[in-house]
Amino acid sequence: MGYRTEGTEPITKVSIIISKGSLEGIYPGLIMANGARAEGMEANLFFTFFGLDAIHSKRIEHIKVATVGNPAMHIPTLVGGLPGMSGIATHMMNKKMDELDIPSIPDFIEMIGDTGCGMYACKASVDMFGMSKDDFVEQVNDIITVGDFYDLAAGGQIIFT
């Protein structure tokens, strides 16, 4: 199962925190969870703050690339803030992902959910934004506290994307 340094124990469980609501903030966690499940590991996703957009039934289809304050875009912040720049960058990124057969966020969420990956919304963030379980896609197992998340993550690796 996977790669590891000689003498180390294999990773058998990962719990991944998704806190950003942009394409580049959401995809790494989804890809890592999918990879973990493909390797036979237990995987849990914990969506907090703006990462909740990835599982919000009305926002999941409208995730964009963050063009302002993103040094990896290699464009000045002033240019990134121009009207339409985020839409253009998002279109280009989605086109490239389609060419590489990378699923859309809604399809990825469904696919990962079907593999048995646990998906949880952060109670504090849900309360702060005035949301409820009805606001989320069906793959979300529950709304849990940070303490509940730590209980789920116990004995495994925690990854913050």
pTM confidence score: 0.87
- The model's pLDDT over 23-60, given as tens digits with 9 standing for 90+, comes to 999 999 999 999 999 999 999 999 999 999 999 999 99
- The model's pLDDT over 60-115, given as tens digits with 9 standing for 90+, comes to 999 998 777 666 666 766 566 667 777 877 878 888 889 999 999 999 999 999 99
Cα–Cα separations (whole angstroms), residue 12 to 2, 3, 19, 160: 10, 12, 23, 17
Higher per-residue confidence, 6 vs 26? 26
What share of the chain has pLDDT > 70, as a percent? 89
Give the per-residue pLDDT at 157.
96
Give the per-residue pLDDT at 8.
83
For the chain, the first-to-last Cα distance in angstroms comes to: 23
Mean pLDDT over residues 135-161, rounded? 97
Give the per-residue pLDDT at 69.
66
Give the per-residue pLDDT at 4.
64
Give the per-residue pLDDT at 109.
98
Confidence of residue 119 (pLDDT cuts 50, 70, 90): very high
DSSP for 123-139, written as a single string: HHHHHHTT--GGGB-TT
Picking from 56, 44, 49, the residue whose alpha carbon sits closest to that of residue 105 is: 56
Higher per-residue confidence, 77 vs 13? 13
CATH number (3.20.20.70, 3.40.50.150, 3.40.1260.10, 3.40.50.970) of 13-64+106-160 reads: 3.40.1260.10
Contact 158, 18 (CB under 8 A): no
